[in-house]
Amino acid sequence: MGTNTRKIVLIAILLAVSIVLNLVERFTIQGFTGLPMVRLGLANIVVLLILYTYGTKDAFAILMLRIVLVAMLSTGLGSVSFMLSLSGGLVAFLLMVTFKTLKGFTVVTVSVMGSLGHAFGQIMMAIFVLATQEIVFVLPILMTLSVPTGIFVGLTTKRLIRILGPQMGYSQP
Amino acid sequence: MSKKDIILISIIFVFSLASLITVIIFQQRTAAVDGTAIVRYRGIEILHISLEDGSASVLHEDYVLEVDTQNHIYKVQGDLGEVVIQYRDHKVSVIEETSPQNICQHQGETNSPLQPLTCLPNDVVITIHSDRFDPDDDDAIIQ
């Protein structure tokens, strides 16, 4: 299998994995906590893995495809949930790319920033779409939960990069 | 994890925890037995429920499906179906709605302006308005 074909196949598999992870945690963790917008962020493991191995462009493509496909499979493209996922994903990606380029920070901080960005992006969109500024008071809960979930996702990704990285043509600095 | 990681993550966590504790304290302080629960559908105010006695005033008849003042049950329109709101002991809660995970029902009761109930798939939000707490008023007195 050529390098390019191998890359496309791997990205397709990882996209499928991220969609399944996202749907699974939607129906388990989120329902369990009783809080809107709370998620472990397991699907972000895939985005982080691609970001560190294949780069920004591919990671962004995976993220956008996941958000659109998950919306099509669950709430629909015109739903509030889709808009929240989109804004959360975009802010998270922006922060992750920024902190990845900064020296001295590992994938754990990049993951925590992604988790925080997701919370900020969602809350901003929720205030705008639902026209309810009181939603801002949910932010401290999301921010506090972002740290442990971000660390967990970051450490998992770190391990995955070590295992899968060499097969994806990535050598750790 | 590098030293920089630990420092930044610790700062974020301490700041987040401090803001969470502040919100929890203010949630208790701003709990209003004499406030009003404002029900919004698609950003439009459709129903007001008094937290004092459970009386309701309908603002948008098309979206308020039923008002049962005796049992304090109010049914409003949501994107996926009916959203049933209950008033009890100066608090409101969502007791029934159609959504994939029913998160709205698990959010419990509220009587604090700092604790809105959000039913995202249904685009229904319930907020509490209290004279003791008005986010638009800089001179609001919080007791």
Residue A47 confidence (pLDDT):
94
Mean pLDDT (chain A) is: 86
- Model confidence at A134, in pLDDT bands (50, 70, 90)? confident
- Judged by average pLDDT, the poorest of A26-30, A46-50, B40-44 is A26-30
pLDDT at residue A27 is higher than 80: no
**Residue of B3, B4, B5, B94 to mutate when probing chain A, most A C-beta within 10 A:** B5
Give the residue numbers in A contacting B (CB under 8 Å), as ranges: 26-27, 30-31, 33-36, 74-75, 79-81, 84, 104-106, 108-109, 112, 116, 126, 129-135, 137-141, 143-144, 146-147, 150-151
Closest chain B residue to A104, measured at CA: B4
Q: Strands of B7-123 (E only): list them.
A: 36-41, 44-50, 56-58, 64-68, 73-77, 82-88, 91-97, 117-119
The mean pLDDT of A83-92, rounded to a whole number, is 93
Residue B143 confidence (pLDDT):
38
The mean pLDDT of B64-73, rounded to a whole number, is 90
The mean pLDDT of A123-134, rounded to a whole number, is 84
- Model confidence at B135, in pLDDT bands (50, 70, 90)? low
Contacts of A129 in chain B (CB under 8 A): 43
| pLDDT tens-digit readout, B111-131 | 888 888 988 888 899 999 887
Instruction: Spell out the domain ranges in chain A.
Output: 3-168
Are B40 and A130 a contacting pair at CB < 8 A? Answer: yes
Instruction: Spell out the domain ranges in chain B.
Output: 36-129
Are A80 and B102 a contacting pair at CB < 8 A? Answer: no
Contacts of A39 in chain B (CB under 8 A): none
Residue A35 confidence (pLDDT):
60
Residue A150 confidence (pLDDT):
94
What is the SS3 assignment for B46?
strand
ipTM metric: 0.83
Residue A102 confidence (pLDDT):
93
Contacts of B133 in chain A (CB under 8 A): none
Could you tell me what percent of chain B has a pLDDT over 70? 90
A125 or B98, which is more confident?
A125
Nearest of A143, A153, A152, A101 to residue A121 by alpha carbon: A143
Q: Which CATH class is domain B36-129?
A: mainly beta
The mean pLDDT of A74-85, rounded to a whole number, is 83
**Residue of A134, A136, A139, A152 to mutate when probing chain B, most B C-beta within 10 A:** A134
Gap between the Cα atoms of A125 and A30, Å rounded = 19
- Residue among A34, A84, A116 minimizing CB distance to B103: A34
Q: What letter represents residue B9's amino acid?
A: I
Contacts of B1 in chain A (CB under 8 A): 106, 108-109
Domain boundaries A3-168, corresponding CATH code? 1.10.1760.20
Q: How many CB pairs under 8 A join A and B?
A: 114
Residue A6 confidence (pLDDT):
84
Report CA-CA distances (Å) from A95 to A88, A109, A113, B92.
11, 10, 6, 38
Q: How far is A169 from chain B (nearest CA, A)?
A: 23
Gap between the Cα atoms of B135 and A76, Å rounded = 33
- Range B15-49 burial, b when 16+ CB lie within 10 A, else e: ebeebbeebeebbeebbbeebbbbbbbbeeebbeb
Contacts of A150 in chain B (CB under 8 A): 9
**Residue of B40, B45, B118 to mutate when probing chain A, most A C-beta within 10 A:** B118
Residue B73 confidence (pLDDT):
94
- Model confidence at A32, in pLDDT bands (50, 70, 90)? low
pLDDT at residue B104 is higher than 70: yes
- Judged by average pLDDT, the poorest of A111-115, A133-137, B63-67, B98-102 is B98-102
- Model confidence at B142, in pLDDT bands (50, 70, 90)? very low
